[in-house]
Structure 1
Amino acid sequence: MAKPQSSKSSAKNKTAIQPTREADFPEWYQQVVRAADLAENSETRGCMVIKPWGYGIWELIQQQLDAQFKATGHQNAYFPLLIPLSYLEKEAGHAEGFATECAVVTHHRLETAKQEDGSVKMIPTGELTEPYVIRPTSETIIGAAFSRWVESYRDLPLLINQWANVMRWEMRPRMFLRTAEFLWQEGHTAHETKEEAIEETRTIHRLYETFLRDHLAIPVIAGEKTEAERFPGADMTLTVEAMVQDLKAIQAGTSHYLGQNFSKAQDISFTARDGSQQHAYTTSWGVSTRLIGTLIMAHSDDDGLVLPPRVATQQIVIVPVTPKEDSRQAIIDACEALAEVLRREKSYGGQPLRVHVDKRDIGGGVKKWEWVKKGTPIRIEIGPRDLEGGKVCLQRRDQAANEKAFVPKEDFIRNVTDILQEIHSNLLAKATELRDSNISECNDLETFEKHWSQEMPGWLSTPWCGSREQEEELSKKHKITIRCLPIDQQDGPEAPCVLTGEATSQRAIWGRSY
């Protein structure tokens, strides 16, 4: 199995992040989050504070996805944070899937009580007649709104998206991957026919696949979840699965066809073209701040965060090098002038370049490593010799930290968009090679069983037609799951199922996951 390679930050083989990925991947991840100043744990158990550099990444993901949703006809709305418990009870199968993670509000008032030691204690009073659940997902509350909004087939389709926070009480939180509160978007749509709803589900699935590849430089396996792994209450769940550098899987986005399950529970009904009363066919779909965790684990190295240019909070950082006071202002002016030209004249991904000039009065080495650890795609240094020679010192985050090139300033301005695209392409190619070299074909049970005893087993692709019970037994035994049934591998040549031996054209991707 191919493993991530360490990047060296000095001749002494020291790295900016300790421990390295190879030494302790989970702790390396936490240290990258900290060193890049992305987020920190908060006083609320299981919840994080997303700091400006990290939130800037989320804002860019949000803006770029939101534009694509609107281009496909969706509109944004907002729905209540608190969901009446009775709403969840209407769809018991759905609620059961989240029941153990739900946070419940039971009181509406606090009263103060003075203690014997003089301290004051706040006591919840005013018990609610009905408890409210802090939304773990919004199918039920949005379904109630849809039932009010839909009367006729002319009101369909309803194409709604919500940018919001949700809460699922995590026992083992990890920043950006599993936190009790996280940010996401959740799309909810209602349709006149089954065919329209299924096409909506597939459209968003393709949109997620393309977004991860073209914006985050993350290749994914696009497929369908098995019944055992399906979203509670869904008839079909489509997923995009990403492999990260410890060879585990991350479910990066899902799109669900809900059939009429929720519309019957919430009475989303309409007068059909023939005058009859029908229930709508609904979908839901979403991605979350887990995308940032996926991005970190997919691209970052032993010197810190590595950001694809489309979602880099700053794409270019220009650092004035001012060893002498008498040339300081001229160099800063040159840096500001370059930044202004880049912002005004150049763009990438349809947006003006994001350029920052670091004028802080601290050492150049400290600045350099801060921006390395924050993952800035391009770092530019301009010193007295560069200014005199009309050049810039170019350093790229997809290359070794100490690698640099001195290029004419005008050449850099002319080629900067191509350089950013090359960085994206390099990150995508590297991630694709890692994934493809760590998916093994497996056609017999003995090999399957042995595979999972490895420290970093990667994924297995097998012929599969086993039952839900057989899948769950294998999953429990080896601490694995079927990540998906790849869409592009479902009509291939028949082969014996790895477990039952029966002929099947269906393939399954197995792996360990976050």
Structure 2
Amino acid sequence: MSKGLPKRSEDYSLWYNELVKRADLAENSAVRGCMVIKPYGYSIWEKMQAQLDHMFKETGHTNAYFPLFIPKSFLSKEASHVEGFAKECAVVTHYRLKNAEDGSGVIVDPEAKLEEELIVRPTSETVIWSTYKNWIQSYRDLPLLVNQWANVVRWEMRTRLFLRTTEFLWQEGHTAHATKEEAISETVQMMQVYAEFAESFMAMPVVRGRKSENERFAGAEDTYCIEAMMQDGKALQAGTSHFLGQNFAKAFDVKFATKSGGLDYVWGTSWGVSTRLMGALIMAHSDDNGLVLPPKLAPIQVVIVPIFKSEEELEKISIQAKEIAKSLKEKGISVKFDDRDTYKPGWKFAEYELKGIPLRIAIGPRDLENQTIELARRDTLSKETVDLKTSNLINKIEHLLEEIQENIYQKALKFKEEKTTEANSWTEFQEILDKNGGFVSAHWDGTSETEEKIKELTKATIRCIPLDQKEEAGACILTGNPSKGRVLFARAY
């Protein structure tokens, strides 16, 4: 269980890796760089997926599915796109195996070479826009609002469970519009959807902003993003939404008949979040005892643990426990009654603490006599005895779950604010990064050269140009050249 879990303050990376494994979220697979998402981890992802899918559909989007394989020639059609992904692509060159003549096993059949190599999708803009050419002829076909849930492959040399793996799960939205204004509005809307999900469901405060040209998605004219702060002072990009302009429409000749009778290229967007959100959830809230899950995303919100010495005691406790569980389920609260007799209560307490269950109820023989139960909160590790004669337990649990959700958010918000610092000189900028970490709000002269130099010298990148950036005359922290406003720098995952 959590015994022996490394401390965050001593080795944050080791703490994270061990927690992912011990909490039964994921493990490394037999394929280097890939992961197995275990049932408990996948159940959290399913909760995320279900809520996001609902939010997408509320904004008018529908789901579809597109091929895993992309013809190599497709990636050549949009120059900046292929340049951005070329080094990460897995390539299929043959379509058949055969037994080796010397009996050593199977080999690639040299006679089965593909006429054109196929790319295992790193992202789907190209294959989707080649399809949209057949779907869009007139302004009546627009807007086209499509999302897909899928897996993608981006070849990675250094991997970490959930945060960076060769194969990962995600959703990618791809929309087509009649005007530039509509497409930009869609891009901003989906960034706001991601922000609402992060803050209201993940209990994770984020900064909304735009990426610098250097950090922009390959093939996009503008990228909007949400950036989150992890407990080790590093930033994490939690979601991106891209205004593609007419770049992919031109690359794949996707035109439409306008209302005025003309012919024009459509305007596009794409946007996505991935299982990286699982890593964000873990690193934003968890502690040295294990996971801390916000109730809205916890697969099990309440666990009931009986304390008994005999089957007769368990039988009596079970009657009350099952009544409580039934009432909670009727309120839409997920609950588990753990009546296993193969583990002691103390072991179960440690297990559920490690797995981040928001509320734990303990019931023993004395509780039955006194008509009480013990409630333990995961976020504060506090306990209280509830008198069932004077309290409405179900209402209390409902309110407690809301309180826990809000408390987790406020704790993360306070941390983010404490880790956001202004720097007004190069020396101050470096000192903040080295001593405090976090977001550093500083002036930048707007050039790619300066941005690259700062990255080279400090390993800090421009995480975003905040949407609420104020026009403020100042001098770039590195060059001293004029700046129009502050941007957020940070070292990041």
TM-score between both structures, scaled by the size of structure 1? 0.93
Aligned AA for 1:189? T
Give deviations 1:407-445, integer Å, cap 9, x for gaps.
024532122111011111111111111111111101122
Correspondence for 2:190 = 204
1:487 alignment partner, one of 451, 455, 467: 467
CA distance in 1, matches of 2:127, 2:105: 37
Correspondence for 2:429 = 448
Correspondence for 2:411 = 430
Q: Does the Cα contact within 8 Å between 1:321 and 1:381 map onto a contact in 2?
A: yes
1:20 aligns with 2:7: yes
Shift of residue 120, structure 1, vs aligned partner:
2.5
Aligned AA for 2:284? A
Q: Does the Cα contact within 8 Å between 2:63 and 2:146 map onto a contact in 1?
A: yes
Shift of residue 322, structure 1, vs aligned partner:
1.2
Aligned AA for 1:360? R
Shift of residue 333, structure 1, vs aligned partner:
2.0
Correspondence for 1:53 = 40
Correspondence for 2:483 = 504
- The 5 Å alignment of 1:81-480 reads 81-115=68-102, 119-125=104-110, 126-344=112-330, 346=331, 352-361=332-341, 362-400=343-381, 403-409=382-388, 410-454=391-435, 456-480=436-460
Q: Note closer, same or farther for the CA distance 1:151–1:341 as it changes in structure 2 (3 Å cut).
A: same
Aligned AA for 1:370? E
Correspondence for 1:73 = 60
Correspondence for 1:4 = none
Shift of residue 326, structure 1, vs aligned partner:
2.3
CA distance in 2, matches of 1:273, 1:335: 64
CA distance in 2, matches of 1:297, 1:289: 13
Could you list the runs of 5+ residues in structure 1 that have no partner in the other structure?
Answer: 1-8, 10-14, 347-351
Aligned AA for 1:385? R
Q: How many positions carry a matched residue from both structures? A: 489
CA distance in 2, matches of 1:242, 1:190: 29
Aligned AA for 1:138? S
SS in 2 for 1:98: helix
CA distance in 1, matches of 2:137, 2:38: 44
Correspondence for 1:349 = none
SS in 2 for 1:432: helix
CA distance in 1, matches of 2:67, 2:456: 37
Give deviations 1:290-322, integer Å, cap 9, x for gaps.
000001000000011110011101111111111
CA distance in 1, matches of 2:4, 2:376: 19
CA distance in 1, matches of 2:219, 2:108: 38
SS in 1 for 2:488: strand
Could you list the runs of 5+ residues in structure 2 that have no partner in the other structure?
Answer: none
CA distance in 1, matches of 2:485, 2:19: 39
SS in 1 for 2:208: strand
SS in 2 for 1:86: helix
Comparing 329-338 with 68-77, greater Cα deviation is found at 329-338
SS in 2 for 1:293: helix
Give deviations 1:149-173, integer Å, cap 9, x for gaps.
0000110000000000000011111
Give deviations 1:37-75, integer Å, cap 9, x for gaps.
001110011111101100000000000000010000000
CA distance in 1, matches of 2:471, 2:364: 59
Q: Does the Cα contact within 8 Å between 1:314 and 1:355 map onto a contact in 2?
A: yes
CA distance in 2, matches of 1:423, 1:449: 37
Give deviations 1:77-102, integer Å, cap 9, x for gaps.
00000000010011121011111111
Q: Note closer, same or farther for the CA distance 1:153–1:408 as it changes in structure 2 (3 Å cut).
A: same
CA distance in 2, matches of 1:27, 1:508: 31
Aligned AA for 2:365? P
CA distance in 2, matches of 1:467, 1:424: 41
Give deviations 1:346-398, integer Å, cap 9, x for gaps.
2xxxxx11111111111111111111000000111111111222221101110
Q: Does the Cα contact within 8 Å between 1:466 and 1:499 map onto a contact in 2?
A: no
Shift of residue 502, structure 1, vs aligned partner:
4.2
CA distance in 2, matches of 1:153, 1:383: 67
Aligned AA for 1:157? P
Aligned AA for 2:202? L
TM-score between both structures, scaled by the size of structure 2? 0.97
Q: Does the Cα contact within 8 Å between 1:483 and 1:511 map onto a contact in 2?
A: yes
**Pairwise CA RMSD of aligned residues?**
1.4
CA distance in 2, matches of 1:224, 1:378: 38
Q: Does the Cα contact within 8 Å between 1:464 and 1:506 map onto a contact in 2?
A: yes
Shift of residue 224, structure 1, vs aligned partner:
0.5
Shift of residue 446, structure 1, vs aligned partner:
2.5
CA distance in 2, matches of 1:432, 1:506: 23
Aligned AA for 2:310? K
Q: Note closer, same or farther for the CA distance 1:245–1:81 as it changes in structure 2 (3 Å cut).
A: same
CA distance in 1, matches of 2:368, 2:45: 36
CA distance in 1, matches of 2:115, 2:319: 66
Shift of residue 197, structure 1, vs aligned partner:
0.2
CA distance in 1, matches of 2:478, 2:467: 21
Q: Does the Cα contact within 8 Å between 2:325 and 2:336 map onto a contact in 1?
A: yes
CA distance in 1, matches of 2:4, 2:159: 21
SS in 2 for 1:395: strand
Q: Does the Cα contact within 8 Å between 1:114 and 1:121 map onto a contact in 2?
A: no
Shift of residue 503, structure 1, vs aligned partner:
4.2
Aligned AA for 2:362? E
Shift of residue 323, structure 1, vs aligned partner:
2.0
